[in-house]
Copies of this chain bind each other. A is one copy, B any other.
Amino acid sequence: MSLTVVGSMAFDALETPFGKTDKIVGGAATYISLSASYFVKPVNVVSVVGGDFDQDHISLMHTRNISTEGVQVKQDEKSFFWSGRYFNDMNSRETLVTELNVLGDFDPIIPAAYQGCEFLMLGNLAPQVQKTVIERLTTRPKLIVMDTMNFWMDIALAELKETMAMVDVLSINDEEARQLSGEYSLVKAAKVIMAMGPKFLIIKKGEHGALLFNENNVFFAPALPLEEVFDPTGAGDTFAGGFIGYIASTGDTSFENMKRAVIHGSAMASFCVEQFGTERLKTLSQDEISARVQKFVELVAFEAEV
């Protein structure tokens, strides 16, 4: 099953209570495609980078069967750059620098080889760009998953709602769900948001897990209690990559299968936070992933009857 991923490929400079990094490779499409590559091949990426982007990273993507044919390289420009600092609780952070650079006028190009893809993951980007990607696909994918953030709710709500109405699954965090719906209760928020278009809604709660809503059904996936969260950057995108990757590998878009996909996404995110940036996502084995999924199974398992 073919998967196309749209999103940023970028440089991040990170500061956490455990240390800081120079510019390292980041961006939504980077995390999503690496994560998804453990489940499905090929993963087709649509993105844009500057002439400064890390060629070793592009090579790494190729070894993981990620196609970068749809990644435009603007040699004379610079890649998107974000710098941020996490506070002690790792759930809040401040942005130090945002340089849009090549992302400022990103006009996505869909290579012919990507046409006909069955699964589409729209990583966090301007909703207008996400919409353009949907429109440039000659056949509508079987499932479209969209990630977004509060930034677009603040400055491009109308466009966000237009794009949302075209997708099957929306993935946002708890604060964003509250902002978008105007409801504090996540159960009420989910109803309001699903009425805007997406039949499925994932609400990510960071260290508190994730909720999957569909009609009147709800599924809860815990986050794994970890000794240490080293760097939360990319956890949400890694979650999304595991989620769509698992669905693409099975071809099954039922609610029951989405539950498993949420668990696989959560497992991938639990690896991501163990090291800085994408480091931990580069060399995972299938055995490690299976063992981690099993930990999620055991975490909530109990015999209801004795």
Residues of A within 8 A of B (CB): 88-89, 184-188, 205, 208-209, 211, 218-222, 225-229, 250, 252, 256-257, 259-260, 263, 293-294, 297, 299-300, 302-304, 306
Across the interface, which residues of B come within 8 angstroms of A259, CB to CB? 302
**Are B299 and A220 in contact, with the CB atoms below 8 A?**
yes
B185, B208, B252: which contacts A205 (Cβ < 8 A)? B208
**Are B225 and A302 in contact, with the CB atoms below 8 A?**
no
Closest B residue to A259 by CB, please name it: B302
- Complexed CA–CA distance, A205 and B91 (Å): 15
Copies of this chain: 2
**Are A300 and B260 in contact, with the CB atoms below 8 A?**
no
**Least distance between A304 CB and chain B CB atoms (Å):** 5
Across the interface, which residues of B come within 8 angstroms of A263, CB to CB? 302, 304
Given contacts A297-B304, A300-B219, contact A225 B211 (CB under 8 A): yes
**Least distance between A301 CB and chain B CB atoms (Å):** 8
**Are A225 and B219 in contact, with the CB atoms below 8 A?**
no
Across the interface, which residues of B come within 8 angstroms of A205, CB to CB? 208
**Are A229 and B260 in contact, with the CB atoms below 8 A?**
no
B89, B218, B225, B257: which contacts A299 (Cβ < 8 A)? B218
Judged by DSSP, the binding face of A is mixed
**Are A260 and B89 in contact, with the CB atoms below 8 A?**
no
- Complexed CA–CA distance, A260 and B302 (Å): 7
**Are B225 and A184 in contact, with the CB atoms below 8 A?**
no
**Least distance between A284 CB and chain B CB atoms (Å):** 19
**Are A260 and B303 in contact, with the CB atoms below 8 A?**
yes
Q: Nearest 10 pairs between A and B by C-beta?
A: A259-B302, A208-B208, A300-B300, A220-B222, A187-B227, A220-B299, A187-B225, A297-B304, A220-B300, A185-B227
- Complexed CA–CA distance, A220 and B227 (Å): 15
**Least distance between A1 CB and chain B CB atoms (Å):** 15
- Complexed CA–CA distance, A260 and B188 (Å): 28
**Least distance between A271 CB and chain B CB atoms (Å):** 16
**Are A222 and B209 in contact, with the CB atoms below 8 A?**
yes
- Complexed CA–CA distance, A299 and B187 (Å): 13
**Are B300 and A222 in contact, with the CB atoms below 8 A?**
yes
- Complexed CA–CA distance, A299 and B221 (Å): 9
**Are B293 and A226 in contact, with the CB atoms below 8 A?**
no
**Are B306 and A250 in contact, with the CB atoms below 8 A?**
yes
Across the interface, which residues of B come within 8 angstroms of A299, CB to CB? 218-220
Given contacts A205-B208, A209-B222, contact A302 B256 (CB under 8 A): yes
